[in-house]
Amino acid sequence: MVEIGADGRTWLLSGPTSSYGLRLGDEDELVHLHWGPRIELADAEALAAGPGPEYWAFEATLDGHEEYPVEGGPRFVRPALSVRTPERRGTEWRFEGYETDGADPEGGAGGGELRLRFSDSGLGITLHYRMRAGADVVERWVTLANEGPVLEVLRADSATWTLPRRDGWRLSQLHGRWAAESRLVRSELTYGEKIIGSRRGHTGHQHLPWVALDADGTATEELGEVYGCALAWSGTWRIAVAQLPDARVQITGGAGYDDSGLLRLEPGESFVTPVFAGLWSDGGFGGASRAWHAYQRAYVIPDADQDRPVLYNSWEATEFDISEEQQRALARRAAETGVELFVVDDGWFGARTSDRAGLGDWTPNPDRFPGGLEPLGDYVHGLGMRFGIWVEPEMVNPDSELYRAHPDWVQFQPGRKRTELRNQLVLNLAREEVQEYLWEQLDALLSSAPIDYVKWDFNRSFTDAGWPGEAYPQRLWVDHVHALYGLLDRLRAAHPTVAFESCSGGGGRIDLGIMARTDQVWTSDNTDPLDRLAIQHGFSQVHPARAMAAWVTDSPNTQLNGRVSSLRFRFVSAMAGVLGVGGDLTRWGEEELAEARSWVELYKEIRPVVQRGDLYRLRAPEGGLSAVQYVRDGEVVVLAWLQAQHYGEPAAPVRLRGLDPSASYECLETGEIHRGAVLLHHGVRTGLRGDLDAAVIRLRRR
């Protein structure tokens, strides 16, 4: 819902529990009024009428107060917008007008959008604010439309968020690296700027584009105010959290890392920034996560009301050494264990018998699949499963037909080395002929066989991002992402029954932008079931279980650390997201297969609650005992893991959340009846013991 003050210069957007207010001053300065609990328009007007900031010569009145600080004038904060022409740099805007939609027929929970239009010498700048029905997330983005002379956009952030004055703030972030993504850390914010981002051309394993802040470090998992921001962009990005000299805190974020030039706008051209979404919650970190999850299921992830199938992926079992017969054998085993989607990973195409060749040639390897993929696809369908394949379309191996034909289709700098990582180069997707080639190849591939699922990988970062012959080569950083989105959108429209998974060497491309175009993401190449608990804990801070793919692989873990763990522990760890199996099933014994089958059966029963329920993180993984809980329509699922039991120390009962204290709950495992108040305040016993033990507890409200 959007409300407008009497003089048409104060605006208030409200969701179910929160409001966001802003005000246009006498000199067209746009100042922030409020972001926090839901307030009324009269409150926003009172804030607008209150005393303005104090001013003296060495500080700027506007710093820390503006909604979107442009470069120029008396401002010393990091500008969200920085543009230049041959004559001038910076912006001095005039307000032109506003539009809103979102008068709320339901009386408060309906969505609404506010657009504020400014201009400077022919450059139109529109600030967008949108709240979706039933959600407290504020989506902000900016449109630049150039009707003036050509100009260079050095920086165009999506939004600047302003926090209320508090004594201090604590910052939560998700950092990582390959095979150890989304690690949650919290630290006190101090004066200056904290910058996170990626200079790699993709979102990166190093940081998820998300931050959360709580005042004075007072929030807990279930209590306290938390502010969060998440960027919907899958390329190079930056989020700067600044604590200004007067202790005010602002968070500015958008596409691009450096301010050395994002794009050039010719007369008549425009640019729309990605969305930078913000959320205020007073339900602690858990409440904030649940609000983010509900928002993504309702407005970001395609078809999130449909459960994702249990998949099998052949990568860890076979790596590059694949054949049709061996895939059929794996498929039979997968079908026996109850798998619903069988995915052939790398190695099925071109001359791809190792990572040294083949990327770029998206036709089946004739030695390995003499009849193409259709016979295997039909066979998999005949076993009652859907059929999926792996691709990495944005890349090329120098040893490929594509590269031999078009060596100039990659990103490169003339006369410089073409840096290979994993023996591959990055295609210049900004080039239209490259987009067209990929569209034709992938469209033909999806039409050539009964393919229901595509795992879309991206296995190296940009290094030599040049574009010889192009007047403004650095535009490829932004254009690459738009081309990727365009390709995915076009393929989805042409093949509406095909689902997509975003992968980038595991979790190197996870953000709200890619999630709007893919059905699930590959969380990490690390499938160790214990390491995974910490990765999943971080992932769940912002993204829902419905998108978080997790596989059960072999023990000892063949990929990384050789850890030995029970099938029970591996399954219960992977059941916290979209369950998959990735072990070499041809080596599993009958007993293991039978056990796997019963876990898959159990997962299918709890799946609607896990994938679409509300998540409560009961205990974080750093302790010996960790647990999560999902609740949906009176159905409750608890997953609990014990890393190691110490002698004489039985695992503590786990206190549940989100239940009705006055209701009774039946445990589906034991038939016992538990009282809600007892589960909430005293907890449930998990029966966990020894090392690496795990349990599933199902409860149903009576």
Query: Would you list the DSSP string of 90-151?
Result: S---EEEEEEEE---TTSSSS-EEEEEEEEETTEEEEEEEEE-TT--EEEEEEEEEE-SS-E
> Quick one: 225 or 525, whose CB is closer to ligand GLA?
525
Name the residue type at position 667.
Answer: C
> Quick one: 24 or 317, whose CB is closer to ligand GLA?
317
Tokens of 38: 């839901």
Q: Which residue is nearest to ligand GLA (CB)?
A: 346
3-state secondary structure of 324: helix
Burial 660-688 (b: 16+ CB within 10 A, else e): eeeebbbbbeeeeebebebbeeebbebeb
d(CA 198, CA 201): 7
Name the residue type at position 640.
Answer: A
Quick one: which of 438, 559, 458 has its CA closest to 503?
458
The H or E element containing residue 277 is: strand 276-281
Determine how β-strand 276-281 pairs with β-strand 169-175: unpaired
For tokens 């190849």, the residue is: 441
Residue ranges of alpha helices (H) inside 453-561 are 476-494, 512-515, 531-539
Tokens of 516: 């709007």
> Quick one: 459 or 573, whose CB is closer to ligand GLA?
459
> Quick one: 319 or 374, whose CB is closer to ligand GLA?
319
In the bound complex, what is the minimum distance in angstroms from residue 320's beta carbon to ligand GLA? 8
In the bound complex, what is the minimum distance in angstroms from residue 390's beta carbon to ligand GLA? 5
Binding-site ranges for ligand GLA (CB under 6 A): 315, 345-346, 390, 457, 459, 503, 505-506, 522, 525
Name the residue type at position 645.
Answer: Q
> Quick one: 157 or 525, whose CB is closer to ligand GLA?
525
Degrees to nearest 5, angle at CA 151 with 149 and 156:
135
In the bound complex, what is the minimum distance in angstroms from residue 538's beta carbon to ligand GLA? 18
In the bound complex, what is the minimum distance in angstroms from residue 521's beta carbon to ligand GLA? 11
In the bound complex, what is the minimum distance in angstroms from residue 677's beta carbon to ligand GLA? 45
> Quick one: 77 or 344, whose CB is closer to ligand GLA?
344
Degrees to nearest 5, angle at CA 211 with 209 and 212:
155
> Quick one: 525 or 528, whose CB is closer to ligand GLA?
525
Kindly state the greatest CA–CA separation across the chain. 79
* Whether 614 is catalytic: no
Determine how β-strand 395-396 pairs with β-strand 425-426: antiparallel
In the bound complex, what is the minimum distance in angstroms from residue 38's beta carbon to ligand GLA? 43
d(CA 405, CA 376): 30
- φ and ψ of 573, to 5 deg: -65, -45
In the bound complex, what is the minimum distance in angstroms from residue 302's beta carbon to ligand GLA? 22
Chain-centroid distance of CA 161 in Å reads 20
| Start-to-end C-alpha separation, the chain | 37
> Quick one: 218 or 558, whose CB is closer to ligand GLA?
558
Degrees to nearest 5, angle at CA 278 with 47 and 36:
35
Chain-centroid distance of CA 234 in Å reads 9
Chain-centroid distance of CA 691 in Å reads 33
In the bound complex, what is the minimum distance in angstroms from residue 397's beta carbon to ligand GLA? 12
> Quick one: 345 or 635, whose CB is closer to ligand GLA?
345
Name the residue type at position 321.
Answer: D
Chain-centroid distance of CA 354 in Å reads 30
> Quick one: 176 or 253, whose CB is closer to ligand GLA?
176
- Residue 89: CB atoms within 10 A of its CB come to 13
In the bound complex, what is the minimum distance in angstroms from residue 501's beta carbon to ligand GLA? 10
> Quick one: 3 or 457, whose CB is closer to ligand GLA?
457
Q: Which of 457, 511, 519, 531 is catalytic?
A: 457
> Quick one: 160 or 203, whose CB is closer to ligand GLA?
203
E strand map for 480-634 = 499-502, 520-522, 548-552, 578-581, 614-619, 625-632
d(CA 346, CA 454): 11
> Quick one: 237 or 315, whose CB is closer to ligand GLA?
315
The H or E element containing residue 255 is: strand 249-255
In sequence order, which residues have a C-beta less than 8 Å from that of residue 444 and are 6 or more positions away? none
- φ and ψ of 69, to 5 deg: -65, 120
Quick one: which of 117, 109, 121, 57 has its CA closest to 85?
121
Sign of the alpha-carbon dihedral angle for 280, 283, 284, 287: negative
Determine how β-strand 625-632 pairs with β-strand 635-644: antiparallel
Tokens of 661: 């204290």
**Burial of 8 per CB tally in 10 Å (0-12, 13-18, 19+):** exposed
In the bound complex, what is the minimum distance in angstroms from residue 549's beta carbon to ligand GLA? 10
In the bound complex, what is the minimum distance in angstroms from residue 345's beta carbon to ligand GLA? 5
The H or E element containing residue 98 is: strand 94-101
Q: Which of 120, 479, 519, 525 is catalytic?
A: 525
In the bound complex, what is the minimum distance in angstroms from residue 503's beta carbon to ligand GLA? 5
* Whether 584 is catalytic: no
- Residue 393: CB atoms within 10 A of its CB come to 25
In the bound complex, what is the minimum distance in angstroms from residue 459's beta carbon to ligand GLA? 5
Q: What is the DSSP letter of 256?
A: -
Task: Tell me which residues are annotated as active site.
Answer: 457, 525
